[in-house]
Amino acid sequence: MSAPIVKLVAQRIALGILLLLAVSVLIFAGTQILPGDVAQAILGQSATPESLANLREQLGLNDPAYIRYFRWLGGVLTGDLGTAMSSGQDIATSIKERLWNTLFLAFWAAIVAIPLAITLGLIAVRYRNGWVDKLISGVALASTSFPEFFIGYLLVFYFAVQHQWFPAISTVYDGMSFGERLQAIALPAAALTLVVLAHMMRMTRAAILNVMQSAYVETAELKGLSASAVIRKHALPNAIAPIINVVMLNLAYLVVGVVVVEVIFVYPGMGQYLVDHVTKRDVPVVQAVGLIFAAVYITLNIIADIAAIVANPRLRHPK
């Protein structure tokens, strides 16, 4: 690996760490300015002033904000995400299984969406400006107009209510077979796939079409290569960097943007866990889940940047 690549990769990683630190400040500050009183939410409206004061002291709510922030950040850096106020359970232990559920759902959605999006993008370029291209682009444009909850409810109505092919509630638990788990996540995975498929397909098409205007592609066409060969051998390899970027961004969305889909299908993942504890005003859980989502999103963006840097031939072969 050449020196320019190493330098750029190190810069991206350092920038990602600084960005995550800044996000942690925003998350902590955002949870502190939420209306209401955490102690009041835990003890209820019938709590006495003495019990409220004791609980605030016990939770450290009387300490200055910067002390509470550094205490929380220090715990995060050592793997201690705190304790859920509403249940008294260790947050790291509770999140572990739910994070696995979310990653499992996002993984299978990505397994379907990424190859399908790239394939449709290549087909659209191969038959550009024809009826196939217009049909694929039209369907993609229409699908991006529908929000996740609308797509999710349509899938529930058709596949779960009318035909009963898949369960409307995606219940997963320990001891399920692999096939049963796949059947349980079929509808939420399909909803996530439809949400990200169109964007990846359109960006793939745009990236390849941009490369198709290059001089070396025109030269390949003049040599008599077929349109499919030109796209496969010349256009696609040189459009791989922007395609990787859009794929990584959508992978980040699959993990971070699952909240609505998980709530619709009552899927026991990170999104459902976050919503459940937002309603309880469980600040430590909201902070922990928000920071994990931010870390996943920033990490995948860094990977996309690094992949684009490594794919740049001018950096791989400096003069």
Give 211-257 as a DSSP string: HHTSHHHHHHHHTT--HHHHIIIIIHHHTHHHHHHHHHHHHHHHHHT
> In 3-state terms, what secondary structure has residue 83?
strand
User: pLDDT digits over 25-80, tens only?
Assistant: 888 887 777 666 666 666 666 667 777 677 677 666 666 777 878 888 888 888 77
Instruction: Look at residue 283 in the predicted model and tell me its pLDDT.
Output: 79
What's the one-letter identity of residue 35?
P
What's the one-letter identity of residue 63?
D
Which neighbouring-strand residues pair with 83? 90
User: pLDDT digits over 244-287, tens only?
Assistant: 778 887 888 787 777 888 888 888 888 888 888 777 777 788 88
Percent of the chain beyond pLDDT 70?
Answer: 83
Token pair, residue 39, equals: 């102690």
For the beta carbon of residue 301, count every other beta carbon within 10 angstroms: 19
Please check the confidence at residue 155 and state whether its pLDDT lies above 60: yes
pTM: 0.78
Burial class of residue 95 in the structure, from the number of CB atoms within 10 Å of its CB (0-12 exposed, 13-18 middle, 19+ buried)? buried
For the beta carbon of residue 62, count every other beta carbon within 10 angstroms: 10
Alpha-carbon distances, residue 15 vs 22, 158, 221, 298, 303 (angstroms): 11, 46, 42, 10, 12
Token pair, residue 281, equals: 């005003």
How far is it between the farthest Cα atoms of the chain?
86
User: pLDDT digits over 80-99, tens only?
Assistant: 777 777 667 778 888 888 88
Give the residue with greater pLDDT, 111 vs 277.
Answer: 111
Instruction: Look at residue 232 in the predicted model and tell me its pLDDT.
Output: 67
**224 phi and psi angles, rounded to 5 deg:** 100, 10
Please check the confidence at residue 318 and state whether its pLDDT lies above 70: no
Instruction: Look at residue 179 in the predicted model and tell me its pLDDT.
Output: 82
Token pair, residue 70, equals: 């550094």
* Mean pLDDT, rounded, for 182-197: 86
- CA distance linking residue 308 with residue 163, whole number of Å: 44
Of 210, 231, 205, the residue nearest 220 (C-alpha)? 231
CATH class of 3-35+81-316: mainly alpha
Instruction: Look at residue 55 in the predicted model and tell me its pLDDT.
Output: 67
Location of structure tokens 């949400």: 195
Instruction: Look at residue 18 in the predicted model and tell me its pLDDT.
Output: 92
Please state, rounded to an integer, the average pLDDT across all residues of the chain. Answer: 78
Domain segments of the chain: what residues?
3-35+81-316
CA Rg value for the chain: 24
